[in-house]
Every structure is written in structure tokens, then in C-alpha cells.
Amino acid sequence: MSEPKLTYSSAISELEEIVAKMQSPQCEVDQLCDLTRRATVLLRFCRTKLTETDQDLVKLLDNID
């Protein structure tokens, strides 16, 4: 069974959950590395998505003229 396709919104939601877990007193040190690793993947995805969207918008707006 495959994972659902990652979207910008779902990535942001997961990042918010990760931050909450990291700030929780119940977060164990052993968990921090895994949470940080996943957050890095999500941040990279979001940055790429934003960059691609910006490039697409610039192209669309350039074609208006």
C-alpha cells in the first residue's frame, strides 16, 4: 500500500505536528533525530513546491503581455 501523495498543505500540517512533539516535555531525545530528519524532508519539499509555483506564476504573468 502506497502513501498518499504529499501536498504542500499536508506537509505544513505535519511540520506543525512535529514542532509540537519536539516542544513537548514527553519528547525523548531518541525521537529528536527522527523528527528532525522528517522535518528536513518536509521543509525541502515545501521549498521546492514554493519555488516551482513561483516560477509557474512568473511564466503565466509574462504571457499576459
Residue 47 has what pLDDT? 98
DSSP H helices in 2-64: 8-23, 29-62
Residue 64 has what pLDDT? 85
CA distance 46 to 11: 7
**Per residue in 11-49, pLDDT tens?**
999 999 999 999 999 999 989 999 999 999 999 999 999
Per-residue pLDDT band at 6 (split at 50, 70, 90): very high
Per-residue pLDDT band at 4 (split at 50, 70, 90): confident
Residue 26 has what pLDDT? 92
Domain ranges for the chain: 10-62
Residue 28 corresponds to which cell in the numbers above? 525523548
